[in-house]
Amino acid sequence: MTAHRKPIVTLIGAGQARVGMIFIHRGLGPKCEDCEYSQVCVGNLEPDRVYEIAKVRDKTLSCGQYETEMQVVEVFDAEIPAAIAAKQAIEGAVITFQMSDCGEEGCDDGELCFPTGLRAGDRCEVLSVTGSLPCSEGLLLKKVSLRRVPVS
């Protein structure tokens, strides 16, 4: 199903601007508020989301706040490995992501049940299903790759 996605234009440090690089946007830095590029640099991205660089444009800007060169790039939401209920694990399906109801502290698969970059209620496309996941709480889980999709 993977629908045509519109890229997000943003800025990233020139040394990190490589197609395929994945990063977590941490939000507005302490010096960013007064910057003339703040809206395109950090304003187009959501804090604590994971993005992948799809294209590096032939344009750099000088960040006066942090005294570094910034590269204009196009990004998309990155694929995120996750664990979801087995009944939702259908390639191409668009689901509403829910965190696990698990209370297990320190589980080996915790990073899949509570993946960085996703929040409960996010609409996500199931890109692939890679197998079953053992769960000490008895939940029927599948390991999948998800990508957030825009709300239509």
Q: Say yes or no: 59 and 90 in one domain.
A: no
Segment 87-97 shows an average pLDDT of 96
End-to-end CA distance of the chain, in Å? Answer: 15
Identity at 31, one-letter amino acid code: K
Q: Residue 12, SS3? A: strand
Confirm whether 122 is domain-assigned: yes
- Of 57, 46, 119, 51, give the one whose Cα is nearest residue 82: 119
User: What is the domain extent for residue 27?
Assistant: 8-77
User: Can you give the pTM of this predicted structure?
Assistant: 0.89
User: Which pLDDT does position 3 carry in this prediction?
Assistant: 52
Confirm whether 109 is domain-assigned: yes
pLDDT digits (tens, 9 = 90+) for 119-138: 999 999 999 999 999 888 88
Neighbour tally for 45: CB within 10 Å: 21
Confirm whether 1 is domain-assigned: no
Confirm whether 27 is domain-assigned: yes
